[in-house]
């Protein structure tokens, strides 16, 4: 019985130790090696003060080491916290302090950014560096340990499993409306609810070769990593820079003989447009899965024509529930422009939608906010009971026992087949390239600029990436600023995917009769 | 457009539209644009739009490879090759 995530590796390593578990460039790690390395690192972490439930940060680019890190931390009965390797150091420091990360795993390349991060993150006591490709900055004033040393000297015995299924397994930070990211706390049971469903329903198996396109701090990575390891498949993390070049990416998929691909739709759309898909051999591909944003039907239809005979599956779910509904895509008739549904709830999870009047949506045409319930629902936001209690709420539709449901903030309706259709948001969150972005977090960053008087951030709908982010700014009297300066300023506070792509300066912003900035007018003017 | 003009025009576009890190504000001809994150998956599409609209070149999918976009030098020589 596997009730915690690390057991998925322990079991697979027992049944097929010689099989490749992770392939990244020239690095190949078999299940036996993965088991051995993760045992040594986990024992080292435990011997060096990592206690059950402690948060351990992973500050690494895609690599075999990043996968080894995840399982090492879990085997130490600790909680892994993936830090976006591209994020500005102020955000990394915030996350480290927010969830009190005492130990960080990083590469020699990333370690050189650490002095800036650690200057305002006194909580970190120990840094483990995975390689010695670059000289390590002498300014890291914490205990520094080399991974190769741990692997050479460490104890390879199986660490004792102390975690139980309701303990936290990982924390994923997403955009927060008040200016700081919030940490979604996911337990082993939360993750396994989804992983077990994928394996049972999508019938992935040990012959499968899984891509891992999403970054580790993005919850799409959960399917790739844990479903693959559970079934004893081979995991191929996609190098980050490959996504910039669609035809190289499609060739990589062909060369790695990927059979289960999972990514945000915009990456697939880019391959449809520029990926030379008609020249690729995808005969090993079985399944193309996508999630994170609406897939524009014209690109999805074209993809299904270019790569025919595969299963196309749309998954839906905010990080707070992992995945909660799915839809198996059927042929899309020419001329259809409506997006495909988000579908029906996954087994052992439940969803329902509640109208403004508090009634449950039962018919096409009715619209309501989608609620998720079941063991997939996260444990809340780290250290933030206020925001937690606003969206993780008691289920008042079921008065007989205490049950927590998650208010997704997503508006949905039903179609004739009882599939849910995504309609929009109840708040100011937007999606761009699959990332959740709180408009308020970008505005908060802009307002910290001493020359900016007023700022309004709006989303300009876009076929390819869902939304482009535009900021309309007025400056304080006598000040002057270039768009590039504003972007550089933002990039020190928020991740690159949140930095406004379009920046417009105005003398004044349009206001509504109540004196608020009139965003609908700004949007209208911007899309004309 | 003269060769130097092409290069400066590309540099100027990248500096004003793509760079959002203070470390990369002084862009030299050979600075790595991909590893440093100056060009990402959205940036490359914007850059191609700029080259196609302003330099009267058509970038084929086959040319959309790291070798052609790794630095200002590389992008300039791609454009020059296409114009010649």
The C-alpha atoms of residue A458 and residue A468 are separated, in whole angstroms, by 8
Task: Identify the band that residue B27 occupies on the pLDDT scale cut at 50, 70 and 90.
Answer: confident
CA–CA dist A499, A25 (Å, integer):
31
Of the candidates B21, B22, B40, which has its C-beta nearest A244's C-beta?
Answer: B40
Q: Which residues of chain A are at the B interface, by a Cβ-Cβ cutoff of 8 Å? A: 86, 241, 243-248, 266-267, 270, 274-276, 433, 464-465, 482-484, 487-488, 490-492, 496, 499, 501
Backbone angles phi, psi at A283, to 5 degrees: -65, -25
Would you say residue A146 has pLDDT above 80? yes
From A86, A247, A492, residue closest to B37, measured CB to CB: A86
Reading the block at residue A463, the tokens are 């076929």
How large is the average pLDDT for residues A439-456?
92
- Contact yes or no for A433 and B19 at CB 8 A: no
Residues composing chain B: 84
With CB atoms and an 8 Å threshold, state whether A496 touches B37. yes
Closest Cα in chain B to A268: B41
pLDDT value at residue A241: 92
A416 burial level (CB within 10 Å; 0-12, 13-18, 19+) = exposed
CB within 8 Å: A241 and B35: yes
B24 pLDDT above the threshold of 70: no
Residue contact B16–A484, C-beta within 8 A: yes
Chain B environment of A496 (Cβ under 8 Å): 20, 37, 40
Name which of A31, A11, A6, A7 is nearest A21 in CA terms.
A31
Task: Give one DSSP letter per residue of A162-223, joined into a string.
Answer: ---TTSEEEEEEE--TTSS-EEEEEEHHHHHHHHHHHHHHT---TT-EEEE-S-TTSTHHHI
CA–CA distances in Å: residue A223 to residues A114, A203, A207, A381, B69: 30, 13, 16, 21, 33
Instruction: Report, as an integer, the average pLDDT of A110-128.
Output: 94
More confident residue, A50 or B41: A50
Q: What is the pLDDT of residues A192-232, one digit of tens each?
A: 999 999 999 999 999 999 999 999 999 999 999 999 999 99
Under 8 Å between Cβ of A434 and A405: no
Top-confidence range, A169-173, A488-492, B38-42 = A169-173
**Cα gap A31→A14, rounded to integer Å:** 8
**Residues forming beta bridges with residue A406, ordered by sequence position:** A372, A392
Q: Is the dihedral of CA A322, A327, A333, A336 positive or negative?
A: negative
Q: Which of B64, B65, B78 to mutate to test the interface with A (most CBs of A within 10 A)?
A: B64
Query: pLDDT confidence of A459, banded at 50, 70, 90?
Result: very high
The total number of residues written for chain A in this structure = 528
Task: Please tell me the distance from the alpha carbon of residue A286 to that of residue A259, in angstroms, as a whole number.
Answer: 5
Separation in Å, CA of A251 to nearest CA in chain B = 11
State the span(s) of chain A assigned CATH 3.30.300.30.
Answer: 430-527
d(CA B48, CA B13): 11
CB atoms within 10 A of CB A232: 20
pLDDT for residue A356 is more than 90: yes
Q: With 80 as the cut, is the pLDDT of residue A80 above it? A: yes
A245/B65 CB distance under 8 A: yes
For residue B58, the enclosing domain spans 3-83
- Rounded Cα gap, residues A58 and A71, in angstroms: 11
Contacts of B16 in chain A (CB under 8 A): 482-484
Contact yes or no for B64 and A246 at CB 8 A = yes
The first and second tokens of residue B38, run together, are 């100056």
Convert the pLDDT of each residue in A469-512 to its tens digit.
999 999 999 999 998 889 989 998 899 889 999 999 999 999 88
How many beta-carbon pairs below 8 A join chains A and B? 63
- Inter-chain touch B16–A245, beta carbons under 8 Å: no
Q: Are A67 and A74 in contact (CB under 8 A)?
A: no
Instruction: Say if the Cβ atoms of A275 and B61 lie within 8 Å.
Output: yes
**Whose structure tokens read 């690494």?**
A60
Which of B26, B41, B68 should one mutate to test binding to chain A, selecting the residue with the greatest count of A CBs within 10 A? B41
Determine the pLDDT at residue A514.
Answer: 78
Q: Identify the pLDDT of residue A41.
A: 97
Enumerate residues 6+ apart whose C-beta is below 8 A from A245: B44, B64, B65, B66
Closest CA to A169 of A322, A53, A14: A53
Average model confidence (pLDDT) across chain A: 95
Rounded CA separation A381/A70 (Å): 21
Over residues B53-80, mean pLDDT: 94
Helices (H), A80-187: 89-98, 108-111, 114-119, 147-153
User: What SS3 string covers A483-525?
Assistant: HHHHHHHHHCCCCHHHCCCEEEECCCCCECCCCCECHHHHHHH
8 A C-beta contact, residue B8 and residue B49: no
Q: Are A178 and A151 in contact (CB under 8 A)?
A: no
Q: Is the dihedral of CA A478, A483, A485, A490 positive or negative?
A: positive
Identify which of A274, A465, A496 has the shortest CB distance to residue B64. Answer: A274
Give the domain CATH number at B63: 1.10.1200.10
What the block records as the tokens of B78 is 């791609």
Dihedral of the CA atoms A381, A384, A386, A387 (nearest 10)?
-40
Q: What is the pLDDT of residue B1?
A: 66
Q: Report chain A residues whose CB lies below 8 A from the CB of B43.
A: 244
Token digits for A241?
């820079």
What per-residue confidence (pLDDT) applies to A335? 86
CATH code: domain A6-237 is: 3.40.50.12780
> Which whole number is the average pLDDT over A371-397?
97
Q: Nearest Cβ partner of A244 from B19, B22, B34?
A: B34
φ and ψ at A15, to 5 degrees?
A: -80, -30
pLDDT of residue A54: 98
The ipTM (two decimal places) reads 0.91
Closest CA to A193 of A74, A326, A348: A348
User: Would residue A143 be called left, alpha or beta, if left means φ above 0 and alpha means ψ between -120 and 50 degrees?
Assistant: beta
Question: Which of B19, B43, B66 is nearest residue A484 as measured by Cβ atoms?
Answer: B19
Classified as helix, coil or strand, A272 is helix
CB–CB of B64 and A465 under 8 A? Answer: no
Chain B residues in contact with A270 by the CB 8 A cut-off are 41, 45
Pick the CATH number of A430-527 from 3.40.190.10, 3.40.140.10, 3.30.300.30, 3.30.230.10: 3.30.300.30
Of residues B32, B37, B10, the one with CA closest to residue B21? B37
B-chain CB neighbours of A490 within 8 Å are: 20
Mapped onto helix, strand or coil, the DSSP state of residue A23 is: strand
**pLDDT digit string (tens) for A229-288?**
999 999 999 999 999 999 999 999 999 999 999 999 999 999 999 999 999 999 999 999
* Stretch B59-66: mean pLDDT: 93
Q: How many CA atoms lie within 13 A of A321 on its CB side?
A: 29
Number of domains in chain B: 1
Q: Please say if the pLDDT value at position A436 is more than 80.
A: yes
Contact criterion met (CB below 8 Å) for A364 and A415: yes
Which helix (H) or strand (E) segment is A68 a member of? helix A64-75
Best mutation target among A90, A91, A116, A244 (most B Cβ atoms within 10 Å) is A244
């Amino acid at each position: 019985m596997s009730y915690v995530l690390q057991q998925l590796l322990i079991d697979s390593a027992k049944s097929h130790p010689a099989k490749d578990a992770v392939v990244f460039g020239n690095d190949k790690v078999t299940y036996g090696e993965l088991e051995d390395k993760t045992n040594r690192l986990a024992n080292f972490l435990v011997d060096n003060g990592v206690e059950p439930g402690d948060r351990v940060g992973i500050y690494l680019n895609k690599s075999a080491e990043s996968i080894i890190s995840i399982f090492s931390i879990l085997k130490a009965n600790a909680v892994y916290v993936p830090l976006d390797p591209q994020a500005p150091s102020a955000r990394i420091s915030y996350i480290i302090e927010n969830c009190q990360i005492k130990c960080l795993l990083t590469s020699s390349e990333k370690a050189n950014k650490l002095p800036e991060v650690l200057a305002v993150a006194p909580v970190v006591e120990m840094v483990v560096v995975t390689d010695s490709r670059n000289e390590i900055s002498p300014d890291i004033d914490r205990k520094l340990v080399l991974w190769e040393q741990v692997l050479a000297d460490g104890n390879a015995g199986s660490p004792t499993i102390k975690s139980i299924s309701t303990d936290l397994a990982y924390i994923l930070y997403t955009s927060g409306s008040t200016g700081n990211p919030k940490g979604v706390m996911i337990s082993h049971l939360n993750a396994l609810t989804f992983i077990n469903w994928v394996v049972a329903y999508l019938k992935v198996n040990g012959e499968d070769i899984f891509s891992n396109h999403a970054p580790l701090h993005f919850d799409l990575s959960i399917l790739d990593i844990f479903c693959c390891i559970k079934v004893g498949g081979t995991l191929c993390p996609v190098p980050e820079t490959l996504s910039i070049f669609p035809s190289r990416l499609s060739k990589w998929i062909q060369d790695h003989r990927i059979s289960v691909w999972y990514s945000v739709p915009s990456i697939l759309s880019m391959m449809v447009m520029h990926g030379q898909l008609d020249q690729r051999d995808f005969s090993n591909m079985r399944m193309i899965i996508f999630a994170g944003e609406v897939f524009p039907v014209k690109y999805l239809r074209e993809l299904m024509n270019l790569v025919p005979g595969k299963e196309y599956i749309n998954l839906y779910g905010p990080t707070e529930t992992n995945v909660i509904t799915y839809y198996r895509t059927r042929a899309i008739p020419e001329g259809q422009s409506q997006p495909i549904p988000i579908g029906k709830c996954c087994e052992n999870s439940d969803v329902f939608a509640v109208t403004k009047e508090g009634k449950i949506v039962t018919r096409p045409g009715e619209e309501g906010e989608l609620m998720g319930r079941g063991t997939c629902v996260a444990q809340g936001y780290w250290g933030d009971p206020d925001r937690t209690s606003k969206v993780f709420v008691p289920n008042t539709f079921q008065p007989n026992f205490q049950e927590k449901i998650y208010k997704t903030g997503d508006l949905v309706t039903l179609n004739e087949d009882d599939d849910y259709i995504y309609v929009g948001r109840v708040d100011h969150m937007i999606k761009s390239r699959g990332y959740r972005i709180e408009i308020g977090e970008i505005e908060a960053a802009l307002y910290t600029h001493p020359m900016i008087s007023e700022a309004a951030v709006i989303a300009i709908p876009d076929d390819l990436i869902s939304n482009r982010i535009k900021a309309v700014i007025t400056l304080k009297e006598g000040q002057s600023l270039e768009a590039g300066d504003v972007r550089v300023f933002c990039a020190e506070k928020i991740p690159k995917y949140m930095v406004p792509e379009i920046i417009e300066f105005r003398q004044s912003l349009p206001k509504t009769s109540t004196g608020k900035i009139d965003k609908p007018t700004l949007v209208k003017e911007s899309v004309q | 457009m003269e060769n130097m003009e092409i290069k400066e025009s590309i540099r100027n576009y990248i500096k004003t539209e793509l760079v959002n890190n203070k470390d990369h504000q002084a862009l030299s001809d050979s600075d790595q644009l991909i590893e440093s994150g100056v060009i990402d998956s959205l940036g490359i599409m914007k850059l191609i739009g700029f080259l196609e609209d302003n330099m009267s070149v058509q970038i084929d999918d086959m040319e959309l490879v790291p070798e052609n976009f790794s630095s200002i030098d590389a992008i300039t020589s791609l454009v020059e090759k296409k114009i010649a």
